[in-house]
């Protein structure tokens, strides 16, 4: 869920300053238009990792915009008056009215996360708090509110550096909260529960925006731009934005660095190493699937990737290890008539494996947020809601003990060209290349955005994405098998 | 929540037969149109009290409609295949395709209720199951499904009669499920948890319909009509009904007997009795509010009712008992400018009392589903979603220990006329009567519907409605005070 926010986004000073002056003016304009129309309030929720620039960003927003139209609220210790009333009262009394902006620090999300990390509440209570937040936001949006939820993120390493810097600065050391962030397990828990919260409460009408917080230029500009674009879109609507989906793309990377760019596609494996390692991993897979403990489990392996990235070959290396009675390969093409008559996920539910089985999906339910999104085969509202539907689907699978592994096989544009040409020249490979492949290639950049959003929104602790560097087929195949085996071994060990 | 389904609805044989032949033809037509369009599936969930006619009604629907286009699914014991997969798999595999109808017995609701009543799960797990059901139905409706949820109801007395009848009939005694319905506490629990489930899962796009099950004619005709009207409306839409709110009124009473008709408005209190009793109850209220245990509580008392039903007089009899520092009376008229700039419930949240206080609302948040509904001051979608928003609001209050009492003061049309005329004749009462009162009177029947829906959808264990027979002011005042005192005493005793 936080993958794209750990790749070291940054923006240099000159580009930043050039962009800011324009952004400020546009934000001010939008803010006054909001006041003039007075049709809906703007609510901004600030959450995330300690030291990731939450306070600084809000300070900056206040500088950029007219602070008289912004109320910054932080919900730290409740007052006597607040303690004498239901817990939600303090949020209600400080809601921004139509035409104005409220920035909520220490909101309902901070409170539930803090309590869960501290161990004051367990998962069931966390779920109830999540449920409360969902109902509240749904109601606010039904009433017209425009909501932005920001999660300021740092990788563990970035956090460590940041804490060191803060310690040395006596003026800022107060920023460290009561949670002891120096403890590595506080970070781990915060991220784990944070992921659960984000997964469940990200809706098309009030999505989470995850912002990498390490570089001040990058994070400030990102937040400013997201607010500006969303606000401008809402101001243009005739009616108040009653649960209107936010505009896509959801993660517009300002420095043009996408998650996929962070891969080192140069990784290779020599022939000898490959043969040794692949045989080893295949034997390990066969072993794991014969393990007694596997009786309580099943595996679903999802293969997505660029055209010609080598999905088929990788799948064959997995199945080569197995008894044909133990696995199914489900190739996903256009839905059948029967499938079109059912809800989108139906055609994947029907292939959910029974215990002890492994099912491989050659393309999958992610088609909705990849090809269907890029090609416009479904509406934006449809693919936007698909992220949460998919997360819920996978949660149900994981709850049942199904081990989920999801691979994106990634190659660069040049490698794809070589493979396309090769396919056209070799007789028995010619069936593999179609006009559609060439058309998809034209939409390369749109796919890069779609993959970034997909990984950010659906890579979860229970069902993480593995990005596979696939310029070298040997490297890719071994990585696939090893990842699969590791996931399976972890699941069996957890029992 | 089940008030309107315990008043003895019935339809005589002749009216029934006349209505049925027309209904059957219309249902068949709609069913074929559904098949022709093949744009969305129809899903009917069947739940409720044992012996309330669930099976009989479904049998009848199959007779009335073309059974080849209906699949009746009952989820009793899972098969081996189902047990080997996530619990939800069995529902997915039996979803009706577009153009067809699925009737689900023993669905997710039956399972969670059964488990909760049996004590297999606790409230937190029940809430998780509710959450699952909400997400599933939201997804299905987003995908276009048209969902009807029926709760077949019987009062405790009706159930007892029904069980006796079933016992004598060897052919039907198998219908009694594994829950021992002969135990009075099984009924109580089923109704209590059922209410929690209905309250949380009733959405405008997939509302619950509560059907009184005692009279076969009434229940069959009601279910048939509701399905027919909803289906016809959906077939007329251009697109599939993607979370389209169901049509109002929600509870169209076929025998023209509304909940309010079941009141005995002839109840009176003689002057002497009144003075004795009112003094007694006033003293009791003062006592209760001085009770130490009241420190953990507060009271919110809501007064709604017909114009000239005597709300003001009743309120004064309550406050007469109290120290002015202990209570507030909040008269609700048109919202102020500040209030109009906030979500609907904001102007009530601001008056939520602190602990130890009593706040009386002279009219209330129920305005949305009464005057705003009837006068068209808000859209249908707005007042339809208000029921769940109000229930959630009141749940938060109750969770905090606030005692909620809600009164509907009911008078008949003739009594209202007498009081209007009296007000016009008595100088110091003249300010009390306006043209608006006369206009409201013209909409008497619409208010009867609105009050019925309101009580059915918002009278809950944690915040029940009390219908007050108010033709006789003395009777009404004593009933109000006594109800308030009883509720308060119960809350203190629970601590």
pLDDT at A173 over 80: no
The mean pLDDT of A323-352, rounded to a whole number, is 92
Residue in B39, B104, B40, B93 with CA at minimum distance from that of residue B70: B104
Nearest to B124 among A128, A346, A402 (CB): A128
CB A85 to CB B352 under 8 A?
A: yes
- Pick the range with the lowest mean pLDDT from A137-146, A183-192, B357-366: A183-192
Q: Which residues from chain A sit within 8 angstroms of residue B93, using beta carbons? A: 349-350
B349 contacts A92? CB cut-off 8 A: yes
% of chain A residues with pLDDT over 90: 68
pLDDT band at A204 (very low <50, low <70, confident <90, very high): confident
Residue segments in chain B with a per-residue pLDDT below the cut of 70: 170-178, 247-254
- pLDDT, residue B276, reads 96
* pLDDT band at A177; cut points 50, 70, 90: low
Cβ-Cβ pairs closer than 8 A, A with B, add up to 113
B113: Cα within 13 Å, side-chain hemisphere: 25
Tokens of A37: 């129309």
Give domain A3-257's CATH architecture.
Answer: 3-Layer(aba) Sandwich (3.40)
User: pLDDT band at A259, cuts 50/70/90?
Assistant: confident
- Measured N-to-C along each axis, helices B108-118 and B184-201 cross at an angle, to the nearest 10 degrees, of 140
Provide the pLDDT for residue B136.
94
In this complex, the residue of B92, B142, B346 whose CB is nearest that of residue A92 is B346
> For the residues A373-392, what does the mean pLDDT come to?
90
Q: What is the pLDDT of residue A171?
A: 63
Per-residue pLDDT at B162: 85
Question: What Å distances lie between residue B126 and A392, B46, B114, CA to CA?
Answer: 18, 19, 10
Tell me what pLDDT residue A242 has.
83
Cross-strand bridge partners of residue A331 = A362
Shortest CA distance from B141: residue in chain A: A343
A453: phi > 0 → left, psi -120 to 50 → alpha, else beta; which?
alpha
pLDDT per position as a tens digit, A8-55: 888 899 989 999 999 999 999 999 999 999 999 999 999 999 889 999
> Closest Cα of chain B to A217: distance in Å?
35
Of B139, B138, B153, B151, residue with least CA distance to B52 = B153
Residues of B in contact with A89 (CB under 8 A): 349, 352
Q: How far is CA B462 from CA B233, B326, B415, B491, in A?
A: 35, 23, 32, 10
Average pLDDT over residues A207-215: 92
Give CA B492 to chain center in angstroms: 27
ipTM of this complex: 0.83
Say which CATH topology domain B261-494 has.
Answer: Rossmann fold (3.40.50)
Per-residue pLDDT at B267: 93
Query: Please, what is the average pLDDT of chain B?
Result: 90
CB contact under 8 A, A86 and B396: yes
Range(s) for CATH 3.40.50.300 in chain A?
3-257, 261-494
- Residues 380 through 419 of chain B touching chain A, CB cutoff 8 Å: 382, 385, 389, 392, 396-397, 399-400, 402
Candidates B39, B86, B87, B124: best to mutate against A (most CBs of A within 10 A) is: B86
Confidence of residue A321 (pLDDT cuts 50, 70, 90): confident
Contact (CB, 8 A) for B337 and B370: no
- Give me the residue from A343, A350, A402 closest to B140, CB to CB: A343
- Interface touch B88/A396, C-beta < 8 Å: yes
Tell me how crowded residue A20 is: count the other CB atoms within 10 A of its CB: 17
Per-residue 3-state assignment (H helix, E strand, C coil) for chain B: CCHHHHCCCCCCHHHHHHHHHHHHHHHHHHHHHHHHHCCCCEEEEEEECCCCCHHHHHHHHHHHCCHHHEEEEECCCCCHHHHCCCCCHHHHCCCCCCCCEEEEECCHHHHHHHHHHHCCCCHHHHHHHHHHHHHHHHHHHHCCCEEEEEEEECCHHHHHHHHHHHHHCCCCHHHCCCCCCCCHHHHHHHHHHHHHHHHHHCECCECEEEEECCCHHHHHHHHHHHHHHHHHHHHHCCCCCCCCCCCCCCCCCCCCCCHHHHCCCCCCCCHHHHHHHHHHHHHHHHHHHHCHHHHHCEEEEEEEECCCCCHHHHHHHHHCCCCHHHEEEEECCCCCHHHHCCCCCHHHHCCCCCCCCEEEEECCHHHHHCHHHHHCCCCHHHHHHHHHHHHHHHHHHHHCCEEEEEEEEECCHHHHHHHHHHHHHCHHHHHHCCHHHHHHHHCHHHHHHHHHHHHHHHCCCCCCEEEEECCCHHHHHHHHHHHHHHHHHHHHHHC
Cα separation of A199 and A294, whole Å? 28
| Residue B311 CB-density burial (10 A; 0-12 exposed, 13-18 middle, 19+ buried) | buried
A424 pLDDT tier (thresholds 50, 70, 90): confident
Which pLDDT does position B179 carry in this prediction?
77
A254 or B134, greater pLDDT: B134
Are B87 and A400 inside 8 Å of each other by CB?
yes
Residue B457 near residue B463 (C-beta atoms within 8 A)? no
Is A326:A358 a contact under the CB 8 Å cutoff? yes
Q: Which residues does chain A have within 8 Å of residue B140's beta carbon, measured at their own beta carbons?
A: 343
> Closest by alpha carbon to A9, among A208, A217, A264?
A217
Residues of B in contact with A87 (CB under 8 A): 396, 400
For residue B400, whether the previous peptide bond is cis, meaning omega lies within 30 degrees of 0, is no
How does pLDDT run across B418-435, given as a tens digit for each residue? 998 888 887 777 777 778
Instruction: Quote the pLDDT of residue A405.
Output: 98
**Model confidence pLDDT, tens digit, residues B55-71:** 999 999 999 999 999 99
Q: Compute the nearest-CA separation of B2 from chain A (Å).
A: 24
Residues of A in contact with B92 (CB under 8 A): 345-346, 349-350
How confident is the model at residue A203, as a pLDDT?
Answer: 87
Task: Report the C-alpha gap between A105 and A332 in whole angstroms.
Answer: 44
- As a whole number of angstroms, the distance between CA A42 and CA A289 comes to 53
Contact list, A88 vs chain B (CB under 8 Å): 349, 396
């Amino acid at each position: 869920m936080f993958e794209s926010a750990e790749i070291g986004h940054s923006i240099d000073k000159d580009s930043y300053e050039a962009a800011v002056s324009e952004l400020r003016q546009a934000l001010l304009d939008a803010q006054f238009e909001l006041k003039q129309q007075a049709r809906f309030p703007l609510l901004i929720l600030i959450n995330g990792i300690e030291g990731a620039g939450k306070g600084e960003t809000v300070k900056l927003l206040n500088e950029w915009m007219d602070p008289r139209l912004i109320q910054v609220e932080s919900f730290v210790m409740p007052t006597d008056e607040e303690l004498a009333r239901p817990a939600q009262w303090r949020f209600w009394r400080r809601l921004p009215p139509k035409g104005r902006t409220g920035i909520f620090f220490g909101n309902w999300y901070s409170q539930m996360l803090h309590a869960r990390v501290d161990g004051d509440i367990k998962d069931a209570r966390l779920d109830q708090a999540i449920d409360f937040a969902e109902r509240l936001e749904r109601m606010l949006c039904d009433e017209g509110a425009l909501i932005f939820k920001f999660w300021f993120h740092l990788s563990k390493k970035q956090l460590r550096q940041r804490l060191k810097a803060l310690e040395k600065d006596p003026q800022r050391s107060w920023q460290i909260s009561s949670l002891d962030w120096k403890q590595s397990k506080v970070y781990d828990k915060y991220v784990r529960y944070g992921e659960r919260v984000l997964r469940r409460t990200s809706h098309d009408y009030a999505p989470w925006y995850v912002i990498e917080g390490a570089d001040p230029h990058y994070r400030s500009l990102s937040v400013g731009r997201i607010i500006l674009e969303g606000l401008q879109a809402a101001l243009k609507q005739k009616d108040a934005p009653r649960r209107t989906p936010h505009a896509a793309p959801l993660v517009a990377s300002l420095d043009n660095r996408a998650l996929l760019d962070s891969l080192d596609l140069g990784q290779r494996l020599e022939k000898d190493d490959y043969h040794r390692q692949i045989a080893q991993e295949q034997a390990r897979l066969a072993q794991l699937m014969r393990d007694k403990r596997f009786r309580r489990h099943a595996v679903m392996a999802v293969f997505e990737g660029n055209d010609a990235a080598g999905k088929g070959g990788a799948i064959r290396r997995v199945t080569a290890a197995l008894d044909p009675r133990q696995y199914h390969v489900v190739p996903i093409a256009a839905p059948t008539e029967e499938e079109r008559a059912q809800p989108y996920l139906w055609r994947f539910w029907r292939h959910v494996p029974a215990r002890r089985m492994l099912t491989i999906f050659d393309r999958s339910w992610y088609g909705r947020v990849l090809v269907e999104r890029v090609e416009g085969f479904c509406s934006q509202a449809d693919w936007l809601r698909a992220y949460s539907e998919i997360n819920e689907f996978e949660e149900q699978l994981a709850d049942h003990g199904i081990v989920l592994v999801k691979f994106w096989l990634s190659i660069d544009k040049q490698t794809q060209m070589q493979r396309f040409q090769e396919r056209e020249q070799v007789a028995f490979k010619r069936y593999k290349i179609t006009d559609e492949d060439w058309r998809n290639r034209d939409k390369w950049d749109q796919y890069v955005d779609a993959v970034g959003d997909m990984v950010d929104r659906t890579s979860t602790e229970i069902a993480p994405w593995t990005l596979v560097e696939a310029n070298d087929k040997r490297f890719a195949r071994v990585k696939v098998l090893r990842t699969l085996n590791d996931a399976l071994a972890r699941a069996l060990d957890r029992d």
